[in-house]
Structure 1
Amino acid sequence: MPAALTELDHQTPQWQRNSPLLVVPSWAASLAIHSLLLFILISSLNRCDSGQTGGTDGELRSVGIYVKQSPDAEKTDETEQETQEETQNNLASQTQEPLKDVLDQPPVDPLLPELNSKLLGAGPTRAPAVPNSPNSDLTSNLMSPSSALAPPVMGMGNVNFFDAVDSGKRFVFVLDCSGSMAAPQGAPIRKARSELISSLSGLTHHQQFQIIFYNTTTRAMQHRGKSAELLYATDINRTLARQFIQSVEPDGGTDHIPALKRALNFQPDVIFFLTDAKHPQLSSADLNEIRRLNRGKAKIHCIEFGEGFPVMEGNSLEKLARQNKGSYRYYNVRKFLRNR
């Protein structure tokens, strides 16, 4: 056996017998080789992450995908678009047909409400008509001052003044403001003012009124220096009336006839006449003149202020009311003191 080994050793070259690989186990060599391959693979992946493509000047480039539609798809899109356009045209034509029918109709007079805007005075009793010509400018007519300031249409309504109730369109209040209306303690004039303001608040915008205070002269409510006239009972006119009523103070003597004649000149439906003067009494000639001027058109209601019990026999105020289809009422001013 030793002889055989010796012979084998002699057959193996000298460099092979001295090689270090014969000393390293095979598993260790395999491990080293696989580790080297793994290192090379990791190095390659790191280069890809840093944007290098293997060269020193490598760059990252975006990649896009272009999809080209087929001719059949393009035809389908065109067909859908034509269908949508045809639908829109049909809707537009359907909308224009009723609009054309409306535009082809003849113009109609608009039913405009009567405007209550003649706030500071009287005027015509109806608003100007709106032209129905197709060529007329409707907007300019509606916004013009003549149509915007149209007064309300007159209407009937009831008015209560010191429990004398009557209905009509035009009312005139005639109040005595002589010096005797200040006694006792200013009660008569104070009561007359409050009742008059209350009566005006009961008027509607379709009724007209005028106020006359008198002693030996007459003073009617005026607007901006114009001549006195009947005023519509608008909110502003009632406010101006309250200011006028509060501005009057009792003073002077008494003269009934000028005040009654001025009231009749307004051609009212109803006259409320208030006085506390027993003297001067209205004479028969005065009563006849008032009746002649009135001609039965206006009802005259008389309210008398006094102290104590009324004197009915020969009372000219009671006759004035009776001859002109009105009523007569008497009030003891002492009751105004207790009810203050």
Structure 2
Amino acid sequence: MSCVLHLVLMLVLAFAVRDVTTGAADEQQRTAGIVLVQRAKGSTEYLSEQDINAATDEASTATQAAHSAGSLLPTETELPLDVAGVLPSGDEFEGIGAGGDFGDALPGVGDLTVGAGPSRKIGGDSKTYIFGVEGEGSVFIYVFDRSSSMSGFQGRPIRAAKSELIKSLHSLSPTSQFQIIFYNNRLTVFNPNHPQQPRLIFADDTGKTAAEQFVRQVQASGSTEHMAALRAALRLGPDVIFFLTDAADPQLSPDELRELERLNKGTMINAIEFGPGPFQGGDNFLMKLARQNDGRHIYVDVTKLPFTP
């Protein structure tokens, strides 16, 4: 009996020791967790490792999104260039050229920069006059005869024409634009930007000074060809053309007058006619030119012009 009792006690002790060992082993194999304590204004928040990992994942996702959005923005090298350098500056008018002589070639093949038509207003309108004939707008073209007959009467016609042109230029506002075409059987165009093609010039101080120097250098010579100069002027699309000539011959034919009317896209053409003695009347080609193009005609008796050496 005693032996049996001892045997039972030994078996009970053996099972108890086995359970303790197994529990210890299980405890040693358990993975340790990281817990951070964050205190804020009297409260305590426990952040487990899982919380930290979740927060890290969210931060990583946000960072990746920011990088993706940032890649859609232009880099420094992709930003638009400063366009100030491509705009015309005041010193473009330095190096004044006397003018562009186009010989017998008719404009329309790139001789002159084409305008966009009348009333391309950049600033307010200017009002100016040539021998009392008024023109109003923002773009003006002066087409003046410089054939040899303009040097007659002791040079009074050419000198008076040049003086009136300079006076008109100085009355233009700085935002107005202009161009000057002297013609005989050839065209002499104001071009301070040579060797570039002639174009419209702003009537600022620089443009006016350059134009005055150009005008003063012009001399009368050669024969007369009206159409090339008028075609060139209309091609620039001004608001007003002041057309001055002393040539009764050659006259513009009816076909040529119709061609000019067809080429005209809204430009007023004023005709200033020089002649010796009182006006003889009649409906000459200059009167028709002005009438068909919404302009005015005026006759100037060159014998009455003042003599200025």
Short-chain TM bin: 0.5 to 0.7
Question: Which residue matches 2:203?
Answer: 233
What is the aligned counterpart of 1:248 among 212, 215, 218?
Answer: 218
TM-score by length of 2: 0.61
Q: Match of 1:149?
A: 89
Name the structure 1 match of 2:270: 301
Residue identity in the other structure for 1:253: S
Shift of 1:145: 2.9
Q: Against the structure 1 CA distance between its residues 148 and 282, is the aligned structure 2 distance closer, same or farther, given a 3 Å change threshold? A: closer
1:184 aligns with 2:145: no
The alignment partner of 1:196 has SS state of helix
Structure 1 residue runs of 4 or more that deviate by more than 6 Å after TM superposition? none
Q: Which runs of 5+ in 1 are unaligned?
A: 1-132
Higher strand share: 2
SS of the aligned residue for 1:206 comes to coil
* Structural mapping, 1:325-336, within 5 Å: 325-336=294-305
Corresponding residue for 1:123?
Answer: none
Contact 1:302 1:328 in 2 (8 A): yes
| TM superposition shift of 1:312 | 2.7
Match of 1:165 in 2: 134
CA RMSD of aligned residues (A): 2.7
1:212 and 1:221 in contact (8 A); partners too: yes
Query: Helix, strand or coil for the counterpart of 2:122?
Result: coil
- Count matched residues: 204
**Residues 148 and 333 of structure 1: is their aligned pair in 2 closer, same or farther, counting only changes over 3 Å?**
closer
Verify the 8 A CA contact 2:144 2:244 in the aligned structure 1: yes
Cα pair 1:141 1:147 within 8 Å, conserved: no
Preserved CA contact (<8 Å) 1:177 1:249: yes
Deviations 1:199-258 (A, max 9, x none): 000001110000000001111111232111111101111111011111111001101111
Matched residues, percent identical? 41
State the structure with bigger RCO (CA 8 A, min sep 6), 1 or 2: 2
Larger Rg: 1
TM-score (ref. length: structure 1)? 0.56
Aligned residue for 1:185, secondary structure, equals helix
Cα 1:272–1:148 change in 2 (3 A) is closer
| Residue from 280, 289, 292 that aligns with 2:259 | 289
Query: Which one of 199, 203, 207 corresponds to residue 172 of structure 2?
Result: 203
Residues 312 and 318 in structure 1, CA contact (< 8 A), matched pair in contact too: no
Could you tell me how far apart the structure 2 residues matched to 1:213 and 1:148 are?
A: 26
Query: In the alignment, residue 278 of structure 1 is paired with which amino acid?
Result: A
Structure 1 residues 148 and 181 mapped into 2: Cα distance closer, same or farther (>3 Å)? closer
Deviation at 1:141, TM superposition (A): 5.0
Distance in 2 (CA, whole Å) between partners of 1:225 and 1:233 is: 21
Q: Secondary structure at the match of 1:314?
A: coil
Deviations 1:143-202 (A, max 9, x none): x43468399933312111111112101100000000000011010000011100000000
